[in-house]
Chains A and B, each alone.
Chain A
């Protein structure tokens, strides 16, 4: 793709500033101050790696302790009795709840986040765009427990009307039944998670949209394309991988969110077919909710750590995939520029 710049690009690619600076003095690293400082810097890099390894190792170690004593099947048991004498626990309900609530969050949040990003980058009046971007940045900093409190005390009473309406028209689907009572259900959790990840997803999307090639956009405009045609033909294709990775980052957040789920959801160890009725649970929510009882005796804490390990692995995979897509895009845009 970058054949037109071929003569300039071969072996010596644009050297990053750091590397050239490093190579200048690498031959004379004999001064004691240099050695100490370089050692300190390298040492802290190594500490970071050690911490990561320790996280994986200790979680895995404690998890195996719990799993060897587990009388139930860890993957399929619909129960969490880790404190009982023959401990029985399984993550089936938690995995279901985590995935369902995150998927609902993604379905709601991603289109809206793309809309917001487009609004800020292409639609908003110039004077409004900068303060808006700034406000969205600030909202990303609101702590999750505040979202949780708002969700439990404000959102839950306000969605019951909507749920009754959905029950009236969509109850036949089986998954959108609502039998009254407080709407502390997986669907409400999904809505709240969507609101929480909106700022992050739209921030990343906005950054990508801002980098879309201006020349293409202007060329399209000059040919008489409407604003939507410009976006459809030059902004969205350019930003597609950016949108995907942004949603993956948001998904990572939604999967691991603890407090907002713990405050809103009314948990149970059943898989309810109806998403609007209370019940279910997520990995993080279950850890937060059953931790105090788990500390008493038995292998309660170890069992929770085992479920945490599963969450850890899932978020690692999701985030790793997102990073991979971002990394690929970097090369692409580099060749384009």
Chain B
């Protein structure tokens, strides 16, 4: 239906140029770059002259100038259709740069400010007995807490998620499977603080247990479960059906077919999915705040007593509000980013290493 619209537009809009030459006048190829440099210079110039403090304004002015200059020049030289095209292109580029700047700044600030106190001491000491204004101290206790809580959460959520995905793909089809699929979607959208509140209501207020790393781990497991189910489901669906049929035709029971044929085929993707889920929950602060409560000293036992965790440590140190604690917060944030990024990179490496061999 849209085809009708398509073949009309170009014909209608290009009457004048063909009369003189076959080629429309075009801006030179370096025009966008040149205009970009010009508007960047103009933007900073205006910013300097007007005495604007914030660089954000300089950038916004330059971006606006870039779009406007691009559009007017193109209108003058190339005509309105090309000008609209240039307008769209320049807006898309500006959007991209506008998004890249804060994200790069985020990484840059964290690396620069975080590397100040990062070191062996930071990684091997807790905050026990460190006065808030004092420099020193470290995140060892938080690291221990994060590792234990995330490990417990994975031990709960990974098998449960894996089996649920197997149910959906290999046994599903009924009403129950439909309900599970729907609620996995719903679960993906649960805010982390709500998961924390649920465990608070159930584990601490109803069953009467105390704050502990385990309580936090349960909330993390709730957050991790739908991610694992989703990614595993996608991977199992990619396993070619011929493999299942061949195995079943040889008389292999279904459960052995799943364990020995289907899972090994999809194991790369499944591992990737689980690692990405771990990376996701490792950075969750809200449930930890509600359920683990935070502690400055080393507590190796996740089942009893308050613990800390890296994201919680960042929040706690930020809240103390002095230079020394800000430095520690940045260092812990850097540690957290490194942790998450390494997990992501390894997961993606596994994904491409174990990539579908049937494709070749």
Q: Hey, which bits of chain A sit against chain B, CB under 8 A? A: 16-22, 24-25, 29, 31, 33-34, 36-38, 40-49, 51-52, 54-55, 58-59, 61-62, 111-116, 118-119, 123-124, 134, 137-139, 141-150, 152-155, 158-162, 165, 195, 198-199, 202, 216, 219-220, 223-229, 231, 233-234, 237, 249, 252, 255-259, 262-263, 284, 287-288, 291, 301-302, 304-305, 308, 311-312, 315-316, 318-320, 323
Contacts and interface: CB of A to CB of B under 8 A. Distances in A.
A256 B88 contact: no
A287 B197 contact: yes
A147 B311 CA distance: 11
Contacts of B329: 149
Contacts of A202: 99
B318 A143 contact: no
Interface stretch (B123-131, B133-141, B180-188, B264-272): B180-188
Nearest to B345: A138
Given A18-B170, A49-B180, A150-B110, A158 B254 contact: no
A120 to B, nearest CB: 8
Contacts of B14: 224
Contact of B56 (A62, A158, A223): A158
Given A45-B167, A49-B180, A55 B56 contact: no
Given A59-B197, A142-B283, A146-B110, 8 more contacts: A48-B187, A141-B344, A143-B311, A145-B314, A153-B109, A155-B102, A225-B10, A226-B81
A316 B189 contact: yes
Interface residues of B, number: 115
A123 B191 contact: no
Interface string B325-336: 010011001001
B209 interface: no
B191 A255 contact: yes
A193 B323 CA distance: 26
Contacts of B167: 41-42, 44-45
B354 interface: no
Interface of B is mostly: helix
Interface in B224-267: 225, 229, 236-237, 239-241, 244-245, 248, 253-256, 258-259
A319 B237 contact: no
Contact of B253 (A34, A154, A262): A34
Nearest to A199: B103
B248 A48 contact: no
Contacts of B91: 115
Interface stretch (B33-41, B147-155, B200-208, B297-305): B200-208
A146 to B, nearest CB: 5
Name the residue among B191, B192, B311, B340 with the largest chain A CB count within 10 angstroms: B191
B237 A315 contact: no
Interface of A is mostly: helix
Contacts of B99: 112-113, 115-116, 195, 198, 202
Nearest to A33: B255
A48 B82 CA distance: 55
B164 interface: yes
Contact of A229 (B9, B189, B244): B9
Contact of A195 (B102, B202, B225, B280): B102
A18 B329 CA distance: 48
B54 A160 contact: yes
B21 interface: no
A115 B333 contact: no
B95 to A, nearest CB: 3
Contact of A115 (B55, B95, B191, B286): B95
Interface string B275-298: 010011011111001100000000
B320 interface: no
Contacts of B9: 223, 225, 229, 233
Given A119-B95, A219-B6, A149 B330 contact: yes
A146 B194 contact: no
Nearest to B197: A308
A257 B284 CA distance: 11
A58 B85 CA distance: 55
Interface string B216-229: 00000010010001
Contacts of B276: 141
A237 B1 CA distance: 12
A52 B183 contact: yes
B69 interface: no
B79 to A, nearest CB: 11
B269 to A, nearest CB: 15
Interface string B37-72: 000000000000000111111001000000000000
B350 interface: no
A231 to B, nearest CB: 7
Contact of A41 (B81, B96, B170, B280): B170
A25 B190 contact: no
Contact of B283 (A143, A249, A311): A143
Contacts of B3: 216, 219
B198 A48 contact: no
A59 B163 contact: no
Nearest to B258: A37
Given A141-B279, A195-B103, A233-B2, A224 B245 contact: no
